[in-house]
Chains A and B, each alone.
Chain A
Amino acid sequence: MEFTPVLHSEWLKIRTLRSLVAGLCAVPAAVVLFSALAGLDSDGPDFDPLFSVFFGVSFGQIAAIAFATSAVAAEFRGGALRATLAAVPRRGRWFAAKAVAIAVPVLVVGLVTGGVALAVGTAALGTEADGLTVGEELRGAVGCALYLTLMALLAAGLTAVLRSGVATLSILIPFLLIVSFVIGDMSGSVADVLPDRAGQMILHDTGEGLLGPWSGLAVTALWAGVALGAGAWSVRRRDA
């Protein structure tokens, strides 16, 4: 089987579900809204103008994760996976197509989101944003897109392992909202290599802890890769 028709099919499946399209649209909405709000409150000793501009990513990632999770979980409802794998029996290829069909729209939406968040966030900060270099701003905007994509892929892989959207979201969302916020302040510990903490280094102006912006993103990529690998293994090995 060729890859392109399978990819086309997976993209069609995403495009034709309103809930998925809505989930994708929620990403820029959440990021821009919360970034703008963060820009209005820019006091504090460890104020980081770049992270303030992309503060909303912490919330936008929930939408990106929900999107990826629902896109994969839809296959595990009813007999959907059987119909899918009867059409595309090369399971590894099918799962790869699914991952690409999730990653590309999130990346594109992420780039747009990064651009808009940058414009809105710096405007909200006003003169406080003057210290940011163009390089840092670009790194943040592109990093925002890459980070959201990697988190979506992490969720996609995990959903394929757990075969349930509810199970995936009930692990990831508390993890992102609670665990990371609670132990997030303890830098220099194991918290630094958690997927969200590591990846968000790309959104920080001042690097502290053991990971820099790009090495942090690489750690998140590793997490996403492991999740996707486990998902692919599960899809290939188990009875549909």
Chain B
Amino acid sequence: MTSIDVHALTKEYGGRRAVDQLTFTVRPGRVTGFLGPNGAGKSTTMRLVLGLDRPTSGSATIGGRPYATLREPLRHVGALLDAEAAHGSRTGRDHLRALAVSNRIPQRRADEVLEETGLALVARRRVKTYSLGMRRRLGMAAALLGDPEVVMLDEPSNGLDPEGIVWIRGLLRRLAGEGRTILVSSHLMNETASFADHLVVLGRGRLLADTPMREFIDARVRPRVRIRTTDATGLRTVLGRHGYDAVEHEEGHWSVDHARVDDIGRLASGAGVPILELAAEEGTLEQAYLELTGSEAEYTAQRQEA
């Protein structure tokens, strides 16, 4: 199986560090979300992995080999970087055929990926007539052309319509399920939360987190239970007795911090408190991310003062 290994990777542009001593591994069989604000170094890292930019120091390898040494790289790695990569005056099909030929990929693959990305009907139209979403799909088609075991996508849902976003989500899940290595950058939290298993988070070119998504959220956002009852006094008493602090909200429901539904449900039922609604309010990726970047900002601010 093929992993992407980034080791102590650093890239400077005129003294400014776009990527700073970055080390992480993207493993097969799961979707790794690559998060960070714009300018955090996500795209630069992807270009470095693809050998398009030269690192100042450090290394990036795919299956242990630098990208530039792969014999027919499209058969191993598929990447979506820019939506504008295809020449406007060429047809979508010809764009894919030219890429396929260079890596000795059979021509029928061009038609297959056009079908798969929903572009079969416009395959023989010039790219300049395509919408932004269709260009993204053509970029996806190019990435899938060589049936690669590693797929790297930079902001794939940019410009896609809702249907396209759902399609990307399903596609990423399927590719990971087939045991491929998937790295998807995004600055959209809810979007990433819908497909990622694992997260690599960057801030100002540095690694902030490299953890499974669930752990990332649970470690930063306290779990909370939402509850509605007809017996407010009874609920407060039984929860208070077990050390929980219930807060009443204006809409008539209660929320209990640091609690799990299993525990609260059992307690309420044991005390005979009638329950109308009981739900876990899971932390969102967005909350966890803001928590992380918030503390990161404080950290850097303090360091500068000192």
- CB atoms of A86 and B79 under 8 A apart: yes
Asked if A234 is at the interface (CB within 8 A of a chain B CB), the reply is no
- CB atoms of A16 and B74 under 8 A apart: no
Asked if B247 is at the interface (CB within 8 A of a chain A CB), the reply is no
- CB atoms of A78 and B89 under 8 A apart: no
- CB atoms of B98 and A12 under 8 A apart: yes
A240's contact among B52, B87, B90, by CB below 8 Å, is which?
A: B52
A interface list, Cβ under 8 A from B: 1-2, 5-6, 8-10, 12-13, 16-19, 74, 77-80, 82-83, 85-90, 239-240
B82's contact among A9, A13, A83, by CB below 8 Å, is which?
A: A83
A82's contact among B52, B54, B98, by CB below 8 Å, is which?
A: B52
A8's contact among B81, B90, B94, B102, by CB below 8 Å, is which?
A: B102
A17 to B50 CA separation, bound complex (whole angstroms)? 27
B54's contact among A10, A77, A239, by CB below 8 Å, is which?
A: A239
Please, which residue of chain A has its CB at the minimum distance from the CB of B126?
A: A18
Asked if B192 is at the interface (CB within 8 A of a chain A CB), the reply is no
Query: Which A residues are in CB contact (< 8 Å) with B70?
Result: 89
> Scoring B residues 35 to 54 as 1 if CB is less than 8 Å from chain A, else 0, what string do you get?
00000000000010011111
State the Cβ distance, B199 to closest chain A Cβ, in Å: 25
Asked if B67 is at the interface (CB within 8 A of a chain A CB), the reply is yes
- CB atoms of A16 and B104 under 8 A apart: no
B47's contact among A5, A89, A240, by CB below 8 Å, is which?
A: A240
- CB atoms of A5 and B104 under 8 A apart: yes
- CB atoms of A79 and B102 under 8 A apart: no
State the Cβ distance, B265 to closest chain A Cβ, in Å: 53
Asked if B237 is at the interface (CB within 8 A of a chain A CB), the reply is no
A and B contact pairs by CB, cutoff 8 A, 8 listed: A5-B104, A9-B102, A10-B98, A16-B90, A17-B89, A83-B85, A85-B51, A87-B102
A86 to B81 CA separation, bound complex (whole angstroms)? 10
Query: Which A residues are in CB contact (< 8 Å) with B142?
Result: 83
Please, which residue of chain A has its CB at the minimum distance from the CB of B101?
A: A9
- CB atoms of B73 and A86 under 8 A apart: yes
A126 to B51 CA separation, bound complex (whole angstroms)? 61
> Scoring B residues 67 to 82 as 1 if CB is less than 8 Å from chain A, else 0, what string do you get?
1111111100101011
Query: Which A residues are in CB contact (< 8 Å) with B77?
Result: 86
Asked if B84 is at the interface (CB within 8 A of a chain A CB), the reply is yes
State the Cβ distance, B181 to closest chain A Cβ, in Å: 16
A165 to B142 CA separation, bound complex (whole angstroms)? 26
State the Cβ distance, A23 to closest chain B Cβ, in Å: 12
- CB atoms of A82 and B101 under 8 A apart: no
Please, which residue of chain A has its CB at the minimum distance from the CB of B94?
A: A16
A239 to B43 CA separation, bound complex (whole angstroms)? 13
Asked if B91 is at the interface (CB within 8 A of a chain A CB), the reply is yes
- CB atoms of A82 and B47 under 8 A apart: yes
Q: Contacts A89-B73, A240-B47 given: A6-B102 contact, CB under 8 Å?
A: yes
Closest 3 CB pairs of A and B: A79-B82, A78-B84, A9-B102
B99's contact among A1, A19, A87, by CB below 8 Å, is which?
A: A87
Asked if B134 is at the interface (CB within 8 A of a chain A CB), the reply is no
A240 to B49 CA separation, bound complex (whole angstroms)? 13
A13 to B73 CA separation, bound complex (whole angstroms)? 19
- CB atoms of B52 and A239 under 8 A apart: yes
Please, which residue of chain A has its CB at the minimum distance from the CB of B145?
A: A87
A88 to B74 CA separation, bound complex (whole angstroms)? 9
Query: Which B residues are in CB contact (< 8 Å) with A90?
Result: 68
A82 to B99 CA separation, bound complex (whole angstroms)? 12
Asked if B97 is at the interface (CB within 8 A of a chain A CB), the reply is yes
- CB atoms of A1 and B79 under 8 A apart: no
- CB atoms of B98 and A1 under 8 A apart: no
- CB atoms of A9 and B99 under 8 A apart: yes
Q: Contacts A5-B104, A86-B50, A240-B52 given: A80-B87 contact, CB under 8 Å?
A: yes
- CB atoms of A86 and B68 under 8 A apart: no
- CB atoms of A79 and B85 under 8 A apart: yes
Asked if B202 is at the interface (CB within 8 A of a chain A CB), the reply is no
Asked if B158 is at the interface (CB within 8 A of a chain A CB), the reply is no
Query: Which B residues are in CB contact (< 8 Å) with A88?
Result: 102
Asked if B129 is at the interface (CB within 8 A of a chain A CB), the reply is no
A196 to B254 CA separation, bound complex (whole angstroms)? 85
- CB atoms of B85 and A12 under 8 A apart: no
- CB atoms of A1 and B72 under 8 A apart: yes
A192 to B142 CA separation, bound complex (whole angstroms)? 49
Please, which residue of chain B has its CB at the minimum distance from the CB of A74?
A: B87
Please, which residue of chain A has its CB at the minimum distance from the CB of B93?
A: A16
A18 to B73 CA separation, bound complex (whole angstroms)? 29
A240 to B51 CA separation, bound complex (whole angstroms)? 9
> Scoring B residues 84 to 125 as 1 if CB is less than 8 Å from chain A, else 0, what string do you get?
111101110010011101111000000000000000000000
A1 to B67 CA separation, bound complex (whole angstroms)? 12
- CB atoms of B47 and A78 under 8 A apart: no
B101's contact among A5, A79, A89, A240, by CB below 8 Å, is which?
A: A5
Please, which residue of chain A has its CB at the minimum distance from the CB of B142?
A: A83
Known contacts A16-B91, A79-B81, A83-B81; 20 additional CB pairs below 8 A are A2-B104, A5-B101, A5-B103, A9-B101, A12-B98, A12-B101, A16-B90, A74-B87, A77-B84, A79-B83, A79-B85, A82-B47, A83-B142, A86-B50, A87-B73, A87-B99, A88-B102, A89-B70, A239-B47, A240-B52
